[in-house]
Copies of this chain bind each other. A is one copy, B any other.
Amino acid sequence: METYHYERLQKFTRDVFLAIGCSEKNASLASEVLISADLRGIDSHGIARLPGYVRLKDHGRLHPNPNVKVVHETPSTGVIDGDKGLGLVVAPFAMEVAMEKAEKVGSGWISVRNSNHFGIAGFHAMLALQRDMIGWAMTNAAPLVTPTFSCEKLLGTNPIAVAIPAGEEPPFVADFASTAVAYGKFEILQRKGLPAPVGWAQDGEGRPTTDSNAIKNGGGLLPLGTDREHGSHKGYGLGAIVDIFSGVLSGANYGPWVPPFATAGFMAMPDAVGTGTGHFLGAMRIDGFRPADEFKSHMDKWIKRFRDAKAVPGEKVLIPGDPERETEMIRKEQGIPVIEPVIEQLEILASRFSIKL
């Protein structure tokens, strides 16, 4: 493990994106989005994925400078074709369109097709905050999740992020996968050779398992709620809504047809039902509902009441976004820890493109 200043990781990432043909503007934006994941402590979605984006380019699945455009619209809705661009660039573009619509008619909702992995959903939702808007971001992803009673993996971890401005308090930022846990938690256990808690995964026959390699061996991640008795059909429903809004509304792939992030050699599903990966982004102007100051002072009250609630011994009640914001403050100052296997992969990129890590 080594620790890097986030600007150094961001510069390296930018240089790699430049090396695969991105414009200055696209490379800068993409590196900012990617490293925001490391800053916020979501290591699985940050620089660890950089080699994957390069593989997408190597295999012809990525346009470094895509011609992203609105292909269908009404005043408050629309579909954007990402032209095989980096989701890291396509999603902020779509969010910008959503926010322009919100400026004009109160809200804007954009479904995106023909895109790729967009980093952390929270980044895109948070773009709305600076404009006194509530931001939404969702994306579908390659199938890792078994719906309730299914032995087949049919859904991705399909995250939802909602960012809500406050006044004196920091904003409310929920950003979570529709599964019991993110896949990254299994990767950590795999590296350490440890089992997983019951309730995170099932085996190929749909039985509970503690095997942290279960998902590689025919098993699946469980939806939020874990089993039917504890509401897994709700987590499944949530993941399905994300999939339909991102994939079926836009004309992207959906369900088991969503392409994997960057498996070597993978080109396209022979029976693709759409183009690329799909996202869904939205923005609602606060003052489309009530005066912004009034809303914000009530959000402050909401946040304070929850934060001050009586907690179980040794814990405190957190507001969604608290842990990530605290991690960001710490990591901006103390640097971002990167594990050895990731450093090795980054060194390969560094030597291939003659740039310095």
Contacts and interface: CB of A to CB of B under 8 A. Distances in A.
Interface residues of A, number: 86
A183 interface: no
Interface in A198-247: 199-200, 205-207, 224-226, 229-231, 233-238, 240-241, 243-244
Given A205-B312, A273-B298, 20 more contacts: A72-B289, A75-B76, A79-B290, A107-B107, A147-B317, A150-B306, A151-B310, A151-B312, A154-B309, A172-B244, A174-B240, A176-B234, A178-B234, A207-B312, A224-B224, A224-B234, A230-B230, A248-B298, A250-B290, A256-B305
A63 interface: no
A266 interface: no
Given A149-B311, A244-B299, A288-B76, A197 B305 contact: no
Interface of A: 72-79, 104-107, 109, 111, 147-152, 154, 162, 164, 172, 174, 176-181, 197, 199-200, 205-207, 224-226, 229-231, 233-238, 240-241, 243-244, 248-251, 254-256, 273-274, 284-286, 288-290, 294-295, 298-299, 301-302, 305-306, 309-313, 315-318, 320
Contacts of A294: 251
A290 B72 contact: yes
Contact of A289 (B104, B111, B313): B111
Nearest to A162: B241
A256 to B, nearest CB: 7
A74, A79, A179, A240 interface centre (most CB from chain B within 10 Å) = A74
Given A176-B237, A180-B230, A74 B285 contact: yes
A179 B224 CA distance: 11
Nearest to A321: B237
A298 B252 CA distance: 11
The complex is assembled from copies of this chain, and their number is 2
B295 A249 contact: yes
Nearest to A173: B237
A236 B294 CA distance: 24
A264 to B, nearest CB: 26
B176 A318 contact: no
B176 A255 contact: no
Given A76-B105, A273-B298, A309-B154, A231 B176 contact: yes
